Chain A
Amino acid sequence: MAASSTSTPALDLSWLNLYDDATSATPGKKGMTLKEINLGRYADSARGPGDSTYRLRGAIARANAQRFGPNYQSKADVWSENCLMLYDEATQRQWSSARDIPWDTLEPLSDEIERAMCQLCTMLTEVEFIAGDVPGQWMPFVSAQDFEAGLFLMSQIMDEARHTDVFRKRALANGGGLLAQGSGLGLRTLIEARDFTEMSVLMHVQAEGFVQSMFRMGELIGQTEADKRIFRMSAQDESRHLAFGVMHLKYVLDTEPERREEIHHYLDKAEGDASGGGSGDVTFPPVFESLCILLGGGVDRFDEGVQKFLLLRKRQINEYVHRLAVAGLGDRRERLGPLMAQFLEPAS
C-alpha cells in the first residue's frame, strides 16, 4: 500500500489564508439571482485581466495553472450589460414543449393548410438546430472572467433545443410530417463567422430578429390554439437572445467605436451577398409559399397571403433597422441592399 494515499498527509491549509474579506450576498425579490452575487471584488465591474484558464472571475489564480488555449481577453469581445438579467430570466421562464403546449387543441386542417404548416415547421426545426450549434461553437472562447455571458449562451443552447423539438413535434402531431429541406437558408454564414461579435450581430440581431418578427405574427400564421401558443412561447425566448445581441453590439460600439465599419462590413456581406433574405431566409420558395398560404388562409387566397407576407417582410426589416439603431448603428438604414431597402419606412 502506498503510504501517500492511506496515511494522513502533512497538513498544508494554506488555502485557509488566501483572503480575509467576508462576502454575504442576500437574496432579493427574485431569490438569489446573479445580480445579488455580482458584488464587491466578484462583480463584473471589478473584472481584472483574463487568463487562458477557466478560472472564474474572483477566484484566486494558481501559480502553476496550465493554459487551455486562446480565449477573448477583453470584456467587450463577449459582454452584454443585460446578460445577468437574461440568464436569470431564462431560468425562470423555461417551459416544456411536452406539457405547456395544448396539443389537444390541434384539429384536422385542410390538406393544403396542414402541408403549409408542416413545411414551415420543417424549415424552423432546421433553423433552430444551428441556433444551438453556433453559441456552442463560441463557448470555449468566452473568458471565464465573463462567465455570465457563457451562462447566458448555455441557456440559449437549452432554449434552441426546445425550439428544435417543438417544431418537430408540431409537424408530427396533426396528421402531417416533415416536408422539404430548406437548401441553405443563409444559415452557413452563422457558423462561418470568425468573431464573436460578427456571430452575435448575424445570429442574435439579424437571424433571430427576423425569426422573432415572424413569431410575433404567429397569431396570423397559426391555425390552432396549439400553433399560436408555440409561436408565443418561442417568441418569449427569442426576445432574450435578441436582447443579448442588441446589448452586446451596443457595448462594443460604446467601448470600441473603432469597430463600427468592421461591423457594417459583416452586414454588407450578410444583407447583400446572400439572396437578400438574410440568415434564416423566409424568401426561400417553399417557406415563402407556405407562409402565404397560411397567412392568406388557403391556396386560393394566395394573393391575399402575398400581401400579408409583404407586411411580414416589412415588419422584419423595419424592426431590424430599429434594433440596430437602439444598439447605436442607426446609420445602417442608409446602407441596406435594395431587397431590404424596398420595405424601409421613413426614419421617425
Chain B
Amino acid sequence: MSQSSTTTEIPQEARDRARSLGWEEGLIEIAIEQGHSLQEIWQALRGGVDGVRARQFLSGGGFVRPDPWWMKVPTEWGIRARAADPALGLSIQDLMVGTYGDVPDVWTNRTEIARGSFPATVGEDMGYTIFDKAIVWADCCVPLYEIAIRDRWISATDLDWASLEPLPAEQEKAVCQLMTELSERAYLEGAILSGWLPAISYGYLELKLFLSTVIYDLARHAETFRKRALANGGGLGLQAPTDYSRTVAESRSFVELMATLFVQDSMLLTLYESGDLIAQNPLEREMYRLCARDRQRYMDYQVERMKHFLFKTPERREEQQLYLNRAEAKLVRDWNDPAVSEPLALLLAGDSRRMDEGHRRLRELRKHQVSAYLANLQRTTITRKTLNGRLQDILNA
C-alpha cells in the first residue's frame, strides 16, 4: 500500500494501545513492512483488534475486517418520516415519531448524544446544566422552528432602501435615536441568549433549534435598525439605557432569564405591531411589520414555556412574580429616560413643537403595551398581583 515507509514514526499512543491489546513487540513494524499504512494500523487498534487476530490477519496478508457492531445497536429502526404538510416540506415535526419523538421530563445523559441514538458505555460530562423539560420546553417550538425558516427575510434586499426620502432634521434624529436603542437591545438579547445555548442538553434539541432561529432573528433586527439609522442623513445616537438590560444579564438561571425577558419581549412586540404609528415612511412600516412577525413567534414560545413551566412546577409560581417585579421596575426606569421617551413622542406627534400631543399619544401607546403585556401574562396563567406602580398608573390613565 501507498503509505508504506521504513522510516514511519510510530506514535507512542499507538504503541501503548497495541500493548494493552496484547500485540506482541514488533508487530506494528511487521504490518508496516507488509505495506499497511499507519492509518490502517491505527484503525485496527482503535477498533480493538487483539494481538491474536492481528497476527492472524498479517499472516494471511489481508487487512483487518471490522466488526460493525454499530449496525446492530438496539435503537428504533425502520423510520420513514414523511412531510405531513407538503407546502412546509419535511419538518422536524415530522421526525417526532416513535421513540424519536419522546422528549423526556428529565434527561439524564451528561454527554453529547443525539436523542434516540445508542449511548456509549462511558463518556465525558459536557457540562450541560439544563436537564429538565419544564425549564425550557414548549411544544410550539417544534412547528415554530420551520415557520421561522420559511418566514425569514433579508434586510439588505427585502426592504426598499432606495425609497427613503429625506425627513425633517428632528424627525430623522428621532428615528435614529430609536434605532440606536432598538439595535442595541436586539444585539444584546441575541448575545445573551447565545451564551445560554451550551447549558441546554441534547434532550431538548428542538428547543435549541428554535432558539437558534430567535438568535438569528435578533441579529437581523440589530443590523436592520443600524442600517436605517445610517441610511437617511442621520447617524447613531446615545446608547440604550442599561437598567433593564443589566437585569437580563444578571439572571442566575434560565427560568429567571425567561421571566425577565418576557417583560421586554412583550413590550417590544407591541411596539413593533404599532409600527404604523411611529413609521415615517413605507420602509419603516415594512421593517416593523417584519420584526413584529419574528417577535410574535418568540412571544408564542415565551407564553407557552411559562405556562408549561407553571403547570409542571406550581411551587415556583410566586417566584416568577419576583423576577417580573424587578424587570418591570427596571424597564420603567428606561422608559422614563428622555432619550427613550422623547424620540417616540416626537415621532408620534410628527413635530417637536407638538411634544404635548406627542406625549399624550405616547401614553396611549404605553397603555396599549402594558395591557398587551398583562394579556400575555394571563395566557401563561399568571395574574399580576403587584404590577409595578408606574405601569399601573399608565394603565389607569
Contact = CB atoms under 8 A, between A and B. Distances in A.
A106 to B, nearest CB: 9
B95 interface: yes
Contacts of B39: 283, 310, 313, 339, 342-343
Contacts of B343: 15
Interface string A65-80: 1101100000000000
B237 interface: yes
Given A42-B236, A122-B114, A180 B73 contact: yes
Contact of B235 (A36, A42, A174, A342): A42
Contacts of A326: none
Contacts of A151: 219, 222-223
B114 A56 contact: no
B173 A342 contact: no
Contacts of B374: none
Given A6-B393, A177-B100, A68 B194 contact: no
B60 interface: no
A155 B66 contact: no
Given A31-B161, A56-B184, A1 B42 contact: no
A137 B187 CA distance: 15
B113 A181 contact: yes
B131 to A, nearest CB: 15
Contacts of A169: 81, 90, 92, 95
A1 B154 contact: no
Interface string A55-67: 1101111101110
A133 interface: yes
Nearest to B66: A289
Contacts of B95: 168-169, 172
A130 B235 CA distance: 38
Given A6-B393, A158-B213, A96 B89 contact: yes
B159 A32 contact: yes
A109 interface: no
Nearest to A169: B90
Interface string A132-169: 11111101101010010011011101101110110011
Interface stretch (B195-203, B274-282, B292-300, B318-326): B195-203
Contacts of A53: 239, 242
Contacts of B351: none
B230 A42 contact: yes
A8 interface: yes
Given A32-B156, A137-B197, A302-B66, A178 B100 contact: yes
B195 A140 contact: yes
B37 interface: yes
Contacts of B123: 181, 183-184
Interface stretch (B258-266, B309-317, B355-363, B376-384): B355-363
A5 B338 contact: no
A310 B197 contact: no
Nearest to B209: A161
Contact of A13 (B223, B249, B352): B352
A97 B241 contact: no
A216 to B, nearest CB: 19
B91 A125 contact: no
Contacts of A125: 114
B22 interface: no
Nearest to B229: A23
Interface in B104-150: 111-114, 116-124, 126-127, 145-146, 149-150
B124 A184 contact: yes
Contacts of B156: 27, 30-33, 88, 91-92
B155 interface: yes
Interface residues of A, number: 129
A12 B188 CA distance: 27
Interface in B180-206: 180, 183-184, 187-188, 190-192, 194-198, 202, 205
A99 B86 CA distance: 9
Interface in B1-48: 2-3, 8-11, 13-14, 37-40, 42-43, 46-48
A165 B226 contact: no
Interface residues of B, number: 137
B222 A147 contact: yes
A235 to B, nearest CB: 19
A266 interface: no
A11 B191 contact: no
A154 B213 contact: no
A168 B114 contact: yes
A160 B184 contact: no
B79 A132 contact: no
Contacts of B209: 161, 164-165
Contact of B10 (A22, A55, A338): A338
B124 A132 contact: no
Contacts of A37: 226-227, 230-231
A86 B72 CA distance: 42
A279 interface: no
A285 interface: yes
Given A69-B249, A337-B11, A285 B66 contact: yes
B83 interface: yes
Contacts of A154: 190, 194, 215-216, 218-219
A2 interface: yes
A137 B195 contact: yes
A284 B195 contact: no
Contacts of A54: 184, 187-188, 191, 239-240, 245
Among B76, B111, B396, chain A packs the most CB atoms within 10 A around the CB of: B111
Interface in B65-94: 65-66, 68-71, 73, 75-83, 88-92
Given A42-B235, A169-B92, A173-B80, 9 more contacts: A18-B237, A56-B187, A129-B114, A158-B213, A172-B79, A174-B80, A177-B76, A283-B46, A289-B70
25 contacts: A1-B396, A5-B336, A9-B341, A12-B338, A24-B232, A30-B156, A56-B180, A56-B222, A68-B245, A91-B155, A91-B220, A92-B156, A94-B149, A96-B149, A98-B89, A137-B198, A172-B79, A172-B95, A172-B100, A176-B79, A177-B77, A276-B13, A283-B39, A285-B43, A310-B3
Interface of A: 1-2, 4-6, 8-9, 11-16, 18-19, 21-27, 30-34, 36-37, 39, 42, 53-56, 58-62, 64-66, 68-69, 87-88, 91-92, 94, 96-99, 101, 103, 112, 115, 119, 122, 125-126, 129-130, 132-137, 139-140, 142, 144, 147, 150-151, 153-155, 157-158, 160-162, 164-165, 168-169, 171-184, 187-188, 191, 275-276, 283-286, 288-290, 292-293, 299, 302-303, 306, 310, 313, 337-339, 341-343
Ranked 4 nearest A-B pairs via Cβ:
A98-B89, A136-B197, A31-B156, A183-B120
